[in-house]
Each structure stands twice: as C-alpha cells, then as structure tokens.
Structure 1
Amino acid sequence: MTPVGYTFLNKYYNLLLPKLSVEVYQDASFDSEKIVKYGASKRLVLPKSRKNLSTPYDNMVAAIKHQGIRLHFFAVIFKVVDENELTAFIASKPMAQHTRVIWYLYEWLTGNTLNLPALNSGNYVQLFDPKYYFTLSDGVRDKRTRVINNAIGTRDFCPTIRKTPEILTLAKTDVYKTAYEEVQKLGKSISADIIGRSVNYLYTKETRSSTEIENERPDKKRMQRFLNAIKNAGLFELSKDKLIDIQNQIVADSVRASDYRECEIYVGSTIQKYSIVDEDVHYVGAKAEHIESLMDGLFKTHDNLMLDGEVPSLIHASIVSFAEVYIHPFDDGNGRIHRYLIHDVMKQREPDHKFIIPISAAILKNTERYDEVLETISKPIMAMLDWELDAENGNRMVINNDIEFMYRFPDYTEHVKFVYEMMNSAISSDLIEEICLLLVFDVIKTSINRAADVPNMKLDTLVSIIISGGGAVSNKKRGLFLKYLSEEGLAEVEKDSMKIISEVKDKFKIDIQELVNKSEKA
C-alpha cells in the first residue's frame, strides 16, 4: 500500500503528527475504493485506477479531497514547505478549486504572500465545504485567490466541527425546548413558584458539582461568589477583563489573577512511593508566550459566532468552553471557568430561556467519559510535547519544543457530542428529579400544615425527616413531630407522604427518598 494525502505528507515531511482516525492509502490490487480495518483504526484504500500521486502538492489536494481540511497539518507543513515549488505548483493550475484553497491557506496561515498574480476572474469557492463542516454563513471574500473564508475562527485560533451524521442529529435538538417539554410531562401541578425554586437550587447544584469535579472543597464565601457568577452568566460581554473578573470571583484570594499566566502550567497529580516524590503529568497547557494570541483568537471566534448566529448555540458554547480549558490561561480556576462558559455563552445566545441545565452535575456522574473526550486533544499533545520538570526550581514546567499549532487548530467534534449528551442527561435526571422533589416536599408540607400549626423554621426539617424515611417517621424521631401533631395527625401525614412518594416513584421512576439521602451525605 502507498500512503496518500495527509498520510503521505506526514511521512514526506517527517512531521510526526498523530495519525488520523482514517488514513488514506492506494493499492494496485484493489479494483474499487474501500474502507478496511487496520487494528483499532481504519484505512481508506483507493484503487489502482486512481492517479498515482508522487509529489507533496498533489497529495495536498488529495488530502483535502479525501480527509478534509486539517489546519494543524497545513500549519506545520507550511513551515517546512519549499515556497518556490509550492508557487510553481499553484501557477500551473491557478483556477483549480483545491489549488486555490491551498494557495489561500498558505497566505492566511503564514501571513506571507506568494509571488503570484491575483486572480481577476472565476467563481468564488468556499474554504470549508458547509456540507461537511459547521461554517459561517457568509465569510470573508479574498479577491486575490477568489476564496471565501467561511471558517468559524481566525488565524490565531480556528477550531473545526465536522458534520458527522450523529452531530447533525444532535444539532437539531433545542435543549431548552426539550427541558420545557420534560417539565410539562410532570403535569399541571407545576407552578411558576416550583420552577423558580428548582432553578435556584440547580444554580447551587451546578456550583457544587463544578467544584467537586476539581476535587476541591472551597469555603462558603468562594462557593457564594461562584454561585453569583453563574446566576449572572451572559450579562456581560466576553472579554479578557471579564474572564479575569470571573477567575477572581471563584478562586482563593491568594491565586487571583491580574493577567494571563506568565509561566508554563500542567495538570497532574503527585505520586509518592517510599521516599521518592514524582509528578504524574496528565496535560500541559499552551505555552505562556502564545496565550495572548490564542485567547484573542478565541474571543474573535466567539464574536464571529455571535454575529453570524447560524451555528447552534450549544455548539458555540462547546467551542468556547473547551478552548479555554485547553489553553489554560490562568494559574488556577481554569476548569470551573470552562464549565461556567457553557452557561455564559448559552445565556448570551438564548437570554430568554427559563432553566439552568446543571451540566456539571451530569459531568460529575460521567467523569470517565469526560476524561475520554478531553484526551482526544490532550493525548496527541502530550505525545508530541517535549517537556521536563525542573526539580531545582520547585518542579517548574519547562517546554523544549513548540507545537502551538496543536492548540490553535483543534477538532472539537467529539466535544460537541459530549456536551449534548451531558445536557440531555442533566435534563432527564437532575432537572426533573429536583422538580419532583419539590412537588413531594410541597405535598408533605401541606399535609403537616393541615394537621397542625408548625413554625416555618421547623417545618422543612420535619418534611426532610419524613422523606428520608420513605414517608414514615421512626420511633426515635417521632417525638420531634408529637410536639406539634397528635398521633392521629401524624398517621395522616405519613399516609399522605407515602402516597406521593410512591406516585412519583411509579410514574417517573424517581426515588425521592434516595435523592434526599444522597443530598444529605453530600
């Protein structure tokens, strides 16, 4: 088999880039194009009838045709390509669509102008095919190459989202409409008050869950600041100053930032065996010298998507939030900012929705899946990065090579899929569970009030005790109730409580008693 496209280019230029999920080869023994398994990956094998591609420039065209535009490949190829040969190749077929795309990509990504005359005729072609990628609806026309740059990002930061069949199906989902429809299934008893109270609780749950993902136990002051940040998401323009402000709200005073970090950073854990202490490094953030341009590119990408308005809001939110956590612009707080940004972007795009969907709570239940998605970017980066920890300087991270193109041009297709999955999980469980819990709470509260006059400060405690007991009150705690209720009144309350708890469990498959017990343990 002979390598074709990016597979050829990777070997020809000795790029040592991780292979793609589908590599392309040509085999003279094949009569037709086929996909074959190759271990855990796949190969697209072209038949003998196809043109034999021997030059890197023909393979650039083949790469775009068969594997789409992979910006990180072109970014590193253009650093080592022979500019004179590339110019001659483009000059030989200046009007061909893929030749013009390569021409435009070179000048866009490098900032250099090839020694070629501008085109003065011919139809414009789109840089990214909207059939296969999410793009801007209009884009910017380049008169010189007659290419429309419809990329969602910029030269500083440009993610891609491929339109796989699964992503196209998910993109049709309106998560807030889905949430509303799920709430309506609970029946006419859902009042505006119950929805309002459930939303307030979910803000708190989102705050706590996002913190637990980081294995942190912040003090009440920081938890309250994070809660306020989430409640006010979407009210301000997304900018460097606003991001620093959010970081200051959610971290300890000692690690508040006044600017982006100036040193290299890594995510890892300390391993101690006997007297030896070592660091298990899971991920290394972008080099500090590139953070300013990467974040500027991210903010411009956000602006592009806001102004265009055609890329679904949850895809937009996925891009912004995951970009922040991979760039890792601060010394502390990046993970919580990452999850905050999902809500911030969604609020900016859809300010009228009534629900906060507790995605962090869903992620907390699916941390292995979360790690798998993060590793689609982190593993290739870590495989390519040459780093070391300077033990003499407090294990300071030192990066010996520069692979900034891996941070600038990511593919977030899997990340979008994950965010939709977590949103749907949060809607079907956390949101509905909380509203059902409030329904049960209100029924039991009404039953107690009907039997006796109980002070409000005691009432919630009594209701929680009944729910924790599945509707029954143990002999040990019975005295708490008999201060206010008769035995007959308490028996009636227990009867009402068991009935509503059982109804919710049978109708909605939600165990209210289990929910309360888990919440109390947390």
Structure 2
Amino acid sequence: MPNKESKFFFEAVIIFHEKRLPEAAVPVGYAALIHAYELSVPLPRVLSAICTRHSVFEKDGWRILTPRHKPNLTLEGQLVFALKYEGVDLVVLKRLFDVVQPQEIAAMISSKPTSSYMRRIWFLYEWLLDKPLDLPDAKTGSYVEVLDEKQQYAGKGKNSTRHRVKNNLPGTRNFCPLVFRTPKIDAYIAQDLAGRAQKAVGNISADILARTAAFLLLKDSKSSYAIEGESPPQNRIQRWGRAIGEAGKQPLDLPELLRLQKIVIGNDNRFIEMGLRQGGGFVGEHDRESRLPLPEHISARHEDLPSLVQGLIDFDTQYAGKVDAVLAASVLAFGFVYIHPFGDGNGRIHRYLIHHVLSERGFNPPGVVFPVSAPILERLDEYRRVLESYSKRLLPLIDWEPAEKMNVRVLNDTGDYYRYFDATPHVEFLYSCVEQTIEVDLPQEIRFLQRYDQFKAKIEALIEMPASTVDLLFNFLKQNEGVLSKRAREKEFAALKESEVEYIEATYSEIFSS
C-alpha cells in the first residue's frame, strides 16, 4: 500500500474538493484524512484548516485555526486533531478504517497504550468494523467517554473494559446518527418546552382540552398529506388522524411500520409495492422526454434495508429514552426518511415517528397531539433545506444507473451513509416546530374555542338556534370580517331581525376583534 502520509497537505490551498475556503489555509483533521485516503464520504458540515492568523474564526462551513493548533502530518496526528477539535464522524472513520491496514492502527495504539485518544480510536475501530485488532486488553488508564459531551450529545454510556472507555454512542452499529452540541439546541433544551405545554393546559376544562386535541389531530393529519401534495378523501385523513392519536402506544417494530404503511396507502394498493422495497428508490422527477430518473435524493439500497430498519427499531427501543426527546424524535424520523424503506408512504410515516417518540416520552400533555406537520407545512422551504442539508452532500457519492420501471439501481456500497449522518440541523428545525406548536398553535386553539363558546352562548341566549346553524353563522361572519353579508341576510338568515343582526355583529366584534 502506498504511503498515504505523504499525501497530507503541506501548503495552504484556497479550494478543497470544490469547496472554497474563506482564505488560503492548510486543511487538517477530517478534511486531510478524506483527501489523503481518497475517502468517498459526505464532507462534514464544518471542516477545519490552519492559517497564519492567531485567532480562530468560522465562515462558510470552515473553522480556521491558528498555527499552534497544527497537527503532526501523520495518520495519528490527523486522527487526534479530529477527535479533539471536530468530534466523532462515524462515516469518515468507518471508511478510513476500511482502507487502513489493521497493523498500522494496532501499531499506533501500541505506541501510546494509555493515551485516551488512542483508546477511543481503538474502540471505534473495533466497534465500526466489528473486528478485533491484535492487541491485548488495556490494563491501565482512566475510563474516558467515546463521545466528548462538550462537543456532541451522547447516550448514557456503558463501560468497555477491553479499551477502558465508556461507550456513550447513542445507537448501534446499524444506526447511530450523531448531533453536535449547539447554543441553539442547548437553549431549546433549557426552555423545558414539555413543562410549558403542561402548564398551558393546566387550567383548561376537560371539554375544551378534548376539542382542542381533536382539532389539532385533524390539523396534523391534513397537513401531513398536504406536505406530500396530496388531497385524499376525508375518511383517509380521519383514519390517519386516528393512527397519529395512538402514536407511542405500540412498540416500534417491523409489523408496526407495515401496519402504518397500510393505513397511509389505504386498500387500493394495486400499483404500489407494499412492505420493504425489493428494488431501488429515489425522490425526484422523471425527464419529460426520456422518462429517465432525475433524483434529488436516492434511498438506501434494498439489500441494506433489513439491517437499517433493525437499527431504527433498536435506536427507538434502546436509546431514544435516554437522550432528549426532541433529539431522539429527529434522529429516528429523519433517519427513516433518508432510508426511505417503502415504495410509498415514507413521508407521512416519517412525521408519525416524531409523534411516536414525543408521545412515548410523555413530552406532550396527555391526550394532546402536537400538530408538528402544520408548522412544517408553513415552513416547507426550510423543511426542504434541512432535508437537502444531507441529501445534496450524499447524492454525488452514489453510483447509480436507470433500472426497470424508470427506477434507479445503486451500484456502490452506500449503507454507511444512512447509518451515520449528522442530524444537528434536523434537531434545530424540529425544536423550532415544537416551540411554535407549544407557544402559538396550542394556546391559539384553546383561546379560539373559549371565545367561540362565549359567542355561541350569547347567540343562543338571544335566539333559539341549532348548534350547526350557530356554526354556519360564525363562519359567515369570519369570512366577511365580522359582517353578515347581504347574501346571508337574504337567504340562510333571512329570518333574523335587523336589531338581531346588529347584536350578533357587535357580539362577534367584541369577542374576536383582538
């Protein structure tokens, strides 16, 4: 094997893998490893480089450090720098360990057996490759965490006596996306949004709360279909709403996912492949003339689906309860949608999984479903940007060809890309949606129902009127800015006296003007 260390950067560059640096600098850490070993991996969202300045700054996806941070231009030097300053990137490490000779890694670890960085590298090598190095168990050295919790959110941790490390990775070898600690996520966690939601409904009557919950449930179901650009019959919307209402009550396993797909698709599935895909999958369009695929995202290979789906299930049953609820919901839901295990129904099940985790963790008040699909629908462009934050980096790495039925056939090994992605943007986005639900949607719906009940009571005190007629009257007033239209006064409400119309309009204005 050629000496790869000779390929590390010695001089400053301004372009790295088509990505421009803010100024000429020497790429280091993961950037240097990707370049030197020609690793086919998605570039990390933030790369590191060394320049001649003596102050650290970040710009355009680069963290520019000072000469005193410069690592040794060796495999060991770059790996230690990466763990120290850039955290753990499992997909880069997995592909690196695939190409480096095990003897080289073993020799590196043997030279510094008590080093915390060497023991972390040793553990990660054996964990990722499921293959032991020819090394005796560690005998000395304080236990050190695999993930630095100052950099990334971690699980509870379990000691690995062989390496004398605490394995706090929040997942299994089959599925373990990671999330970097950011001021935004820390601030969201500190807000205790779950507690604020409980407080918001604490003094609400059971009747108002039940009607609020029913409305929010229907709103979420409608929004979830609208995100997919679909307008299904009302019975399908209600059926999916009932499924969302039961989220978190059943353990997540493959039969449960198949049941959800059946609910989403309905009984007419003559043209839809049910169950795990037996071929390729992609999100995108077809060329109008050639009908060839134009993918925006390519799904995991069908050969990898059993292990990937099992990884999702294991994450939910073993790890989701040990990390922040919104973080766990983001990892599970966005991991599912990137994998895209089904031929159809993935988007709605992806959003269902958010409800599943939040409900299972008791994050939302009992009986209330946060309509997270509604803020997603309102922020559709932002939602797509979050999805593309990984898909766009992933797409150029996938070798594919057109397959039968104008599908795609993936030609290279892509499983690692779906197991180990960086879910940081996804957590920030979902937290913003949950915050909107708690701070705006939930109290807004409660206030509306309280005011509507006031309006209804005053109208019924004035004149005997069925509830459905009061509702029709309210909708006419709402559509016409509190004024009963000439058409309504001459047709549906011709029986009303002028004084009654004036009272009704004044009542509506008094209650709803604010």
Normalised by the length of structure 1, the TM-score is: 0.88
* Residues 168-202 of structure 1, C-alpha deviations (whole Å, 9 max, x = no match): 11112333333355568xxx8x5332222121011
Q: Match of 2:179, SS? A: coil
1:353 aligns with 2:350: no
Structure 1 unaligned spans of 5+: 506-522
Q: Match of 2:294, SS? A: strand
The answer (yes or no) to whether the contact 1:389–1:395 under 8 Å persists in 2 is yes
| Residue correspondence of structure 1 range 138-287 to structure 2 within 5 A | 139-181=157-199, 191-255=205-269, 259-272=275-288, 275-287=289-301
1:367 aligns with 2:389: no
CA pair 352-276 structure 1, distance change in 2 beyond 3 A: closer
The answer (yes or no) to whether the contact 2:29–2:82 under 8 Å persists in 1 is yes
Between the aligned partners of 2:416 and 2:170, the Cα distance in structure 1 is 16
Between the aligned partners of 1:312 and 1:174, the Cα distance in structure 2 is 11
Q: Match of 2:166, SS? A: strand
User: Of 332, 337, 362, which residue of structure 2 is paired with 1:325?
Assistant: 337
* Residues 109-153 of structure 1, C-alpha deviations (whole Å, 9 max, x = no match): 10111111111233211111122221122x222111111111100
User: Of 481, 486, 489, which residue of structure 1 is paired with 2:500?
Assistant: 489
The answer (yes or no) to whether the contact 1:290–1:404 under 8 Å persists in 2 is yes
2:196 corresponds to which letter in structure 1?
Answer: T
CA pair 490-24 structure 1, distance change in 2 beyond 3 A: closer
Between the aligned partners of 1:18 and 1:206, the Cα distance in structure 2 is 33
The answer (yes or no) to whether the contact 2:258–2:275 under 8 Å persists in 1 is yes
Deviation at 1:404, TM superposition (A): 1.7
Deviation at 1:216, TM superposition (A): 0.9
1:261 corresponds to which letter in structure 2?
Answer: R
Q: Match of 2:454, SS? A: helix
Equivalent residue number for residue 517 of structure 1: none
Between the aligned partners of 1:457 and 1:499, the Cα distance in structure 2 is 22
Of 353-362 and 482-491, deviating more is 482-491
Deviation at 1:19, TM superposition (A): 3.3
For these two proteins, the number of residue pairs brought into alignment is 487
Deviation at 1:44, TM superposition (A): 2.3
User: Of 456, 465, 469, which residue of structure 2 is paired with 1:458?
Assistant: 469
Equivalent residue number for residue 292 of structure 1: 306
Deviation at 1:401, TM superposition (A): 1.4
Equivalent residue number for residue 353 of structure 2: 341
Equivalent residue number for residue 93 of structure 1: 112
The answer (yes or no) to whether the contact 2:489–2:496 under 8 Å persists in 1 is no
Between the aligned partners of 1:240 and 1:302, the Cα distance in structure 2 is 12
Deviation at 1:457, TM superposition (A): 3.5
Equivalent residue number for residue 509 of structure 1: none
CA pair 155-223 structure 1, distance change in 2 beyond 3 A: same
User: Of 310, 316, 321, which residue of structure 1 is paired with 2:328?
Assistant: 316
The answer (yes or no) to whether the contact 1:443–1:497 under 8 Å persists in 2 is no
1:334 corresponds to which letter in structure 2?
Answer: N
1:288 corresponds to which letter in structure 2?
Answer: H
Equivalent residue number for residue 62 of structure 1: 81
The answer (yes or no) to whether the contact 2:333–2:351 under 8 Å persists in 1 is yes
Between the aligned partners of 1:325 and 1:80, the Cα distance in structure 2 is 29
The answer (yes or no) to whether the contact 1:244–1:257 under 8 Å persists in 2 is no
Between the aligned partners of 1:35 and 1:462, the Cα distance in structure 2 is 61
Between the aligned partners of 2:196 and 2:491, the Cα distance in structure 1 is 42
The answer (yes or no) to whether the contact 2:292–2:402 under 8 Å persists in 1 is no
CA pair 36-409 structure 1, distance change in 2 beyond 3 A: closer
Between the aligned partners of 2:224 and 2:493, the Cα distance in structure 1 is 41
Q: Match of 2:64, SS? A: strand
Deviation at 1:247, TM superposition (A): 1.1
The answer (yes or no) to whether the contact 1:8–1:56 under 8 Å persists in 2 is no
1:103 aligns with 2:127: no
Deviation at 1:359, TM superposition (A): 1.1
The answer (yes or no) to whether the contact 2:280–2:299 under 8 Å persists in 1 is yes
1:105 corresponds to which letter in structure 2?
Answer: L
* Residues 345-396 of structure 1, C-alpha deviations (whole Å, 9 max, x = no match): 1111007714322111111111110011111111111021112223xx2212
| Residue correspondence of structure 1 range 388-403 to structure 2 within 5 A | 388-390=401-403, 393-403=404-414
Normalised by the length of structure 2, the TM-score is: 0.89
Deviation at 1:414, TM superposition (A): 0.8
Equivalent residue number for residue 442 of structure 1: 453
Of 402-411 and 487-496, deviating more is 487-496
| Residue correspondence of structure 1 range 402-481 to structure 2 within 5 A | 402-480=413-491
CA pair 369-295 structure 1, distance change in 2 beyond 3 A: same
Q: Match of 1:24, SS? A: strand
Q: Match of 1:253, SS? A: coil
Deviation at 1:276, TM superposition (A): 4.8
CA pair 79-265 structure 1, distance change in 2 beyond 3 A: same
1:35 aligns with 2:90: no
User: Of 133, 143, 146, which residue of structure 2 is paired with 1:114?
Assistant: 133
The answer (yes or no) to whether the contact 1:357–1:423 under 8 Å persists in 2 is yes
Instruction: State the identity as a percent.
Output: 33
1:25 aligns with 2:37: no
Between the aligned partners of 2:98 and 2:249, the Cα distance in structure 1 is 42
The answer (yes or no) to whether the contact 1:247–1:257 under 8 Å persists in 2 is no
2:333 corresponds to which letter in structure 1?
Answer: S
